[in-house]
């Protein structure tokens, strides 16, 4: 069983900062990547930023230069530092874990998995 513990959401004024953290634990062979997605009411969940175990990062264009994702492989933890927050960043943020259960690491034989955190609310007031 895999678990994700998210922390760091909250209310902040425009221009402020928040730091989201997500810690993974449980039965895993290895982690492929971890990331943060956000969901607006009535819209699909959308990638904000992700980082692979090798440190390769991906960012949504609208957060580049404002958000920074970092990972701690030893602690299976990912952090999202969000600076220069805007009201349009207000959403529920979800941590995502892409992991391997065995060395095969293949979705087709269920040796690779995808897991979501419970979500944390980020609200940016104008």
What pLDDT band is residue 64 in, cutting at 50, 70 and 90? very high
Q: Can you tell me the mean pLDDT for 40-60?
A: 96
Please give the pLDDT value at position 38. 98
Task: Please give the full DSSP string across the chain, using - where no structure is assigned.
Answer: -EEEEEE--EEEETT--EEEEEEEEES-SEEEEEEEEEE-TTS--EEEEEEETT--EEE-GGGTTTEEEEEEGGGTEEEEEE-S--GGG-EEEEEEEEEESSTT--GGGT-EEEEE---EEEEEE-
82-121 residue pLDDT tens: 999 999 999 999 999 999 999 999 989 999 999 999 999 9
pLDDT, the chain, mean: 96
What pLDDT band is residue 1 in, cutting at 50, 70 and 90? confident
Q: Can you tell me the mean pLDDT for 43-49?
A: 96
11-44 residue pLDDT tens: 999 999 999 999 999 999 999 999 999 999 999 9
């Amino acid at each position: 069983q895999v678990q994700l513990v998210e922390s760091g959401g909250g209310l902040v004024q425009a221009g402020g900062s928040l730091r989201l953290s997500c810690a993974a634990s449980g039965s895993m062979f290895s982690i492929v990547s971890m990331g943060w997605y956000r969901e607006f009411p009535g819209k699909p969940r959308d990638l904000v930023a992700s980082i692979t175990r090798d440190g390769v990062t991906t960012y949504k264009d609208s957060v580049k230069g404002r958000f920074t994702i970092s990972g701690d492989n030893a602690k299976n933890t990912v952090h999202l530092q969000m600076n220069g927050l805007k009201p349009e960043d207000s959403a529920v943020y979800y941590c995502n874990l892409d992991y391997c259960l065995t060395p095969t690491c293949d979705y087709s034989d269920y040796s690779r998995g995808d897991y979501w955190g419970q979500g944390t609310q980020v609200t940016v007031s104008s």
